[in-house]
Amino acid sequence: MSLLKQKAYQPLTNESAVELALELNIFPGHAKLSCKEIGDGNLNLVFHIVEELKGKSIIIKQALPYAKVVGESWPLTLKRAKIEADALKIFGQIAPDYVPEVLFTDDVLAVTIMEDLSHLSIARTGFIKGETYPLIAKHLGEYLAKTLFYTSDYGLGPGVKKERVHQFINPELCKITEDLIFTDPFIDADTNEFEDSLRPAVEALWHDEELKFHVNVLKKSFLTDAEALLHGDLHTGSVFASNSETKVIDPEFAFYGPAGFDIGQVFANLLFQVIVNEEKCDLFINHIETVWNVFEEQYTFLWNTENKEIAAKTSTFLNYQLYKFFGDSLGFAGCELIRRTIGLAHVADLDGIEDELTRITAKQKTIELGKILIKQRNEIKDLTSFIATIKERI
Ligand code: ADP
Ligand code: MG
C-alpha cells in the first residue's frame, strides 16, 4: 500500500524510499532507480536515489524518532522535520542561490525530498583536505544578510513576524543547544569530553566566574531575543561548497533567536581553520573579514531599501543594530569554540590532528580565544580589533 496513503510514520528503507520516489512521479514510471543511505550526520536518515540510465538524482531526508548517534534511548521529536522543511522553503525563497531546492515534504513521514548536491563537498571536509572555496565567504555573508533581515520585524512587519515566531517554536532542539553550548561546557557535566592534558584549562573555565557571567548573558539572549529566523546550526558541516557554489543545508534547529548566533557559528567554524591551518591562516582570516563586510554592506542596503519600520530607518539605529550583532557574534563564536573543543560534539578540524602535541596546542588556543571573545565581545568594537585579537592568540 502507498506510503503516503497510510498516513502513519515509518522509517524508510532503501526499498521504500524508492517506492516513495516512484509514487510521487519524481522519475518516469519505468525508471530504474538505485538507492543508498548516505547520512553521516548525527540525527537523521539521508537516502541518495539515482536513476541508473539518465543519472538524474534526488535526496530524501527523513527524521527518526530518536537521535541516530545515540539510539532509541535519546528520543527526539519528529516535528523537527517540519521545522526543517518550512525553514528550507523560507530560506530558499529569500536566498535561492544558497539553499537546496525542495521538491516535496510530508510531515507525517517526516521527510523532505530535495535537490541532490553530491557534486559539492561538505565545506568542513573540503577545508581539512586543503580547499579554500574562494567565494564561500561572500556567499555566506549574503545568505546571512538576506535571511536575517527578511525574517526580522524590519523585513516582515510585526504581524507576520509574530506568526513566524509561533510557527518556529522548537523547544526540543533549542534545549540541545542550550545544554551543549551554553551550560555543559562550563560545569563538570557528563556530556563533556576532553583529553586529560586539557583538564587544567577546562577546570579553569569552570572556576572563572567572570566568564560564567558572560555566558549566562549570552544564553539569556539565545533564550529571549527573537530577532530573526535562525538556521540554528550553521557550522561548516551544514554547508556544501565548491569553488563556485555554496548551499546551506540542515536547518532543523531553526527558531527565532539572536541574529549574532548564526554569524558567530560561521566565525567560529572558520576560526578552527585559522588556528589549525598554518599555511592558509591568512586566507581564512580573510574569509572572516569578507563574511562580515558582505553581511554589513548587504544588511545596510536592505535596511535602507526594504525596511517596514519607517521610524527605525535611521543611520544611528542601524549602527546600533550592527554593533549589537557584531558583539553578539563574537560572544557566540567564543561559546562555539569552547564547546566544540571540550563538549559533546567535537569537530574534525581539531580531533583529526594526529600529532598529540599539535592537537592539544590547537585546542588550548581555541579555549583561550573562546574565553577572550566571550568576555571582551563588547570592547572589540570592529573588524580591525577582532582580527588583531585573533592574531595575538594564534
Ligand atoms: P543531519 O541532520 O543528520 O546532520 P544533514 O542534513 O547534515 O543531516 O545530512 C547528513 C549528510 O547527508 C550530509 O553531510 C551530506 O553528506 C548528506 N546530504 C544531506 N543533504 C544532502 C543533499 N541535498 N545532497 C547531497 N547530500 C546530502
Ligand atoms: Mg548535519
pLDDT tens readout for residues 271-289: 999 999 999 999 999 999 9
Same domain, 51 and 109: yes
How far is ligand 1, taken at its centre, from the CA of residue 197, in Å?
A: 34
Question: Higher confidence at residue 314 or residue 40?
Answer: 314
pLDDT tens readout for residues 326-361: 999 999 999 999 999 999 999 999 999 999 999 999
Confidence of residue 73 (pLDDT cuts 50, 70, 90): confident
Residue 43 scores a pLDDT above 90: no
How far is ligand 2, taken at its centre, from the CA of residue 42, in Å?
A: 7
At 206 the pLDDT is 98
Same domain, 256 and 377: yes
Same domain, 283 and 379: yes
What domain range includes position 374? 121-393
pLDDT tens readout for residues 126-179: 999 999 999 999 999 999 999 999 999 999 999 999 999 999 999 999 999 999
Question: Higher confidence at residue 69 or residue 97?
Answer: 97
How much is the average pLDDT of 178-186? 98
Residue 1 scores a pLDDT above 80: no
Q: Among the atoms of ligand 1, which is closest to the Cα of residue 238? A: 7
Best of 36, 45, 46, 250 for a ligand 1 pocket test (most atoms within 8 Å of beta carbon): 46
Pairing verdict, β 44-51 and 239-241: unpaired
How far is ligand 2, taken at its centre, from the CA of residue 314, in Å?
A: 39
Pairing verdict, β 111-115 and 121-122: unpaired
Domain boundary among 70, 97, 115: 115
Residue 246 scores a pLDDT above 90: yes
The C-alpha atoms of residue 295 and residue 197 are separated, in whole angstroms, by: 39
Residue 4 scores a pLDDT above 90: no
The C-alpha atoms of residue 233 and residue 221 are separated, in whole angstroms, by: 16
What percent of the chain has pLDDT above 70? Answer: 100
Confidence of residue 3 (pLDDT cuts 50, 70, 90): confident
Domain boundary among 58, 81, 115: 115
Same domain, 280 and 215: yes
> CATH number of the domain that 306 lies in?
3.90.1200.10
Q: Among the atoms of ligand 1, which is closest to the Cα of residue 120? A: 25
Best of 35, 61, 88 for a ligand 1 pocket test (most atoms within 8 Å of beta carbon): 61
Please write down the HEC assignment for all residues of the chain: CCCCCCCCCCCCCHHHHHHHHHHCCCCCCCCCEEEEECCCCCCEEEEEEEECCCCCEEEEEEECCEECCCEEEEECCCHHHHHHHHHHHHHHHHCHHHCCCEEEEECCCCEEEEECCCCCEEHHHHHHCCCCCCCHHHHHHHHHHHHHHHCCHHHHCHHHHHHHHHHCCCHHHHHHHHHHHHHHHHCCCCCCCCCHHHHHHHHHHHCCHHHHHHHHHHHHHHHHCCCEEECCCCCHHHEEECCCCEEECCCCCCEEECHHHHHHHHHHHHHHHHHHCHHHHHHHHHHHHHHHHHHHHHHHHHHHHHCCCHHHCCHHHHHHHHHHHHHHHHHHHHHHHHHHHHCCCCCHHHHCCCCHHHHHHHHHHHHHHHHHHHHHCCCCCCHHHHHHHHHHHC
Same domain, 240 and 370: yes
What percent of the chain has pLDDT above 90? Answer: 93
Protein residue whose Cα sits closest to atom 6 of ligand 1: 250
Residue 303 scores a pLDDT above 90: yes
How far is ligand 2, taken at its centre, from the CA of residue 254, in Å?
A: 13
Confidence of residue 70 (pLDDT cuts 50, 70, 90): confident
At 231 the pLDDT is 98
Write down the mean pLDDT value for the chain: 96
At 79 the pLDDT is 96
Q: Among the atoms of ligand 1, which is closest to the Cα of residue 118? A: 25
Lowest mean pLDDT among 5-9, 146-150, 175-179, 223-227: 5-9
How much is the average pLDDT of 16-23? 96
How far is ligand 2, taken at its centre, from the CA of residue 258, in Å?
A: 21
Domain boundary among 87, 115, 143: 115
**Which residues surround ligand 1 with Cβ inside 6 Å?**
38-44, 46, 59, 61, 100, 114-118, 122, 249-250, 252
How far is ligand 2, taken at its centre, from the CA of residue 43, in Å?
A: 8
At 72 the pLDDT is 84
At 67 the pLDDT is 82
Best of 113, 249, 269 for a ligand 1 pocket test (most atoms within 8 Å of beta carbon): 249
Residue 267 scores a pLDDT above 80: yes
Question: Higher confidence at residue 48 or residue 72?
Answer: 48
Same domain, 39 and 180: no
Domain count, the chain: 2
Residue 68 scores a pLDDT above 90: no
Lateral strand order in the sheet of 102-106? 33-37, 44-51, 57-63, 111-115, 102-106
Enter the pTM of the model.
0.98
